[in-house]
A and B are shown apart, each in its own frame.
Chain A
Amino acid sequence: MMETNRRRFCQLLGSAFLLPSLLSEPVLAGANKSQTQPLFASAAQDRDGNYHLYLIGEQGDVLLDHPLLGRAHHTEAHPTRPLLACTARRPGRFIDIIDYQEHQLIKRIHAEAGRHFFGHSIFTEDGRWLITTENELSTGQGRIVIRSLADDYAIIADYPSHGIGPHELIQQPSSSVLVVANGGILTHPDHGREKLNLESMQPSLVRLDINSGELLEQQMLPAELHQLSIRHIDTNSAGITAIALQYQGDIGHNPPLVAIHHPGQALELISAPEPINLAMKGYCGSVRCDHSGRFAAVSAPRGDLISFWDLHEKQFISSIKSRDGCGLTATANDSEFIISAGTGRCIKHNLKTGHTSRLHQTIKTAWDNHLISIQT
């Protein structure tokens, strides 16, 4: 009973915070003027089915509540300025750029005619550009598009992604290399989210030169595993990419769901021990490297678990339970991650110490696919 009352009280507090957002103009919701430091940002769905971008403070308080036009997917933080870029989920067509200190929508980017976004955008390390993965509807081919912050997000480059359905993209740290996950799955807004080419899909991982768009490398999976969609990636400072896969075949086949890539080498598929690999149900939601770059966390929301992997030894380490857990981000501590879930729960887990703690929050909301920690 105590538990329930506390939860209800939190919901109530949450709804009190949300009240201003209903009254104000669509753009910004003042939220409260807490002095705590920002901890993480993530898109979410509230109990009434409305979508928001939230910035949560270290005390679990809501520092920003920004109503979104529709469901979003990934949120990116600018390396030096207090900006968040929140990208619409496929086949959405908006990216909201928000100044979280001023509580202002700086810019709403709309996809060009004949294009939509795939849910991911990133700022370059130097903070000058925003890069997106996009669908060119006339050809079904993936595009990588660069917009300049100095020119009000005008498009300054538009490259082929060398595949269908590019999803997550990452700038390899301290380099001009862009790593792109071409998921391989063809979709068209006329058919909603229907997958149109499962029999012939051919996912790939590519590395491109950001400045020229030149294709530096493209790696495919073995033919028998062509239905393993390469969807979410993270690259450490050594240029090693951890890849989280989503299987489009029968999950009883129990395929590997994680891959590792070293520049210039073939993709190396790795499996968890059979009971855990099966429990992941053929579907990984996110992947993030820890602060040290040695370890990766991979979420499996359908299996209600988070798995941890050693990128040096190329093997599974451990897993923890997290119901509907999907969003992952590294903290400033080695081997430590924050995990967000569709249930509204957030936990912090250190895989070295094995310690897990629940993060206190003042709102209950369904956290969406990805979250990002804000390190100020």
Chain B
Amino acid sequence: MKQASSPLWPTLLGAAFLLTLTGVLHAAPTEQQWKTVNHALVTEHIIPRYQHLAESSNVLKNSTSALCQQPDQAHLSAAQQAFHRTMDDWESVQHIQFGPIENLMRNFSMQFWPDKKNLIGKQLNILLAEQDPATLKTDALYKASIGVKGLPALERLLFTGQLSELENNSYRCQLTSTIAAYIAENSAATVTEWQQAYSPSVFNAGSEDSYYDDHQEAAVDMLKSLVEPVEAIRDQKILRPLGNGEKVRPRRSESWRSERSIRNIQLNMASLQDLYEGHPDNVASLLRQQGAADQADKISGLFNDIIAQLKAIQGPLTTTLYQPQTVTQLQQVSASLKQLDLALNAAMKTLDIQLGFNSRDGD
């Protein structure tokens, strides 16, 4: 006893101290590591996706304009196809909810959804009833209500109603083309701002003119884009259409008029997986470097499961949601998304990332 209390005691204390030290140290990636990951995500994930959106929405603008010149079935189909490609690109970047897309309410303008009070229908009907030519300028749309500026309004105009309503360069057709032009303008501006102003702000986090105080803070925005959509997709795109167990509600699903609700979710999940592990310097590899390979693999497996589960679901939900098999399949996806949400939140703890305490769970 006497021996133990003399020379060994400080050593034990020192060991305990070191243990505490490593316990704290292993949890946090370095600023350099965050900087590398942020750089990769901006250049390989975010900007290319906005570029695709700018390109496809420009095609959409041209095809709706051509439709008004020659309102036949072939031109309508071409415009509908262009709409689908634009929606594909939007759904592939919908998860990015920070940066230039927040400027001038662009995110709401691109897609006001879910529209629980049918704001879009009401405002669109007012415009179509009044037929005021002054509203047919993209400048006017900047001031117009968010309901009539975006992709959901365009979907109504292109996928409901008769071809005859678009003839003779009608107000309806010109409004379609004006909204498409507005979407193209917004998409182009978002890319330009990312390239010219926002990416330098991310890359130079900590400098005087950066929006971010350090690279970890910029990473919080990247990681919010990974984690937060999972619960939102589950709540808005799956559980709301499923209803409360009594009655299914297919018209609560996203893009039900163009019959692409499931495709949207597939694109969302593929994009989130790309953010997570699609490029050499990614979130998954950072987790592995923290000694959390188990966590990294589990998340990867869940992404694969969900994407496979979605692939098996038949559309369109406007008819298939009435089949018990589809309900069961969507419930499975919902359960997997819940697992993914939990796994991603656990990973944030490993990476020493606080996504938001008061912002996510305030009172």
Contact = CB atoms under 8 A, between A and B. Distances in A.
Interface string A77-121: 000000000000110000000000000000000000000000100
Contacts of B217: 323, 343
B24 A11 contact: yes
Contacts, number: 86
A262 interface: no
A252 B362 CA distance: 20
B30 A324 contact: no
A278 B358 contact: no
Interface string A278-309: 11000101000000000000010110100000
Interface string B22-35: 00110010111000
B31 A1 contact: yes
Contact of A250 (B31, B102, B116, B356): B116
A252 B146 contact: yes
Contacts of B206: 3
Contacts of A326: 358-359, 362
Interface string A118-140: 01000000000000000000000
Interface string A16-49: 1000000000000000000000000000010100
A324 B20 contact: no
Contacts of A90: 363
B108 interface: yes
Contacts of A275: 103-105
B117 to A, nearest CB: 7
Contacts of A342: 354, 356-359
B25 A8 contact: yes
Nearest to B16: A19
A121 to B, nearest CB: 14
Interface string B161-174: 00000000000000
B146 A12 contact: no
Interface residues of A, number: 41
B157 interface: no
Given A3-B206, A368-B357, A12 B24 contact: yes
A15 interface: yes
Interface in A45-65: 45, 47
A8 B24 contact: yes
A274 B106 CA distance: 13
Interface in A310-341: 321, 323-327, 341
Given A8-B25, A90-B363, A341 B31 contact: no
B24 A301 contact: no
Closest 7 CB pairs of A and B: A342-B357, A326-B358, A301-B358, A366-B357, A301-B359, A302-B359, A342-B358
23 contacts: A4-B28, A8-B24, A12-B20, A12-B24, A119-B363, A250-B115, A250-B117, A252-B105, A254-B105, A275-B103, A279-B102, A285-B362, A302-B359, A325-B358, A326-B358, A327-B358, A342-B356, A342-B359, A343-B217, A343-B354, A344-B354, A366-B357, A369-B363
Given A1-B32, A324-B356, A369-B363, 14 more contacts: A4-B30, A47-B349, A73-B363, A275-B103, A285-B362, A301-B356, A302-B356, A302-B362, A323-B217, A325-B358, A326-B358, A344-B354, A367-B357, A368-B357
Interface of A: 1, 3-4, 8, 11-12, 15-16, 45, 47, 73, 89-90, 119, 250, 252, 254, 274-275, 278-279, 283, 285, 299, 301-302, 304, 321, 323-327, 341-344, 366-369
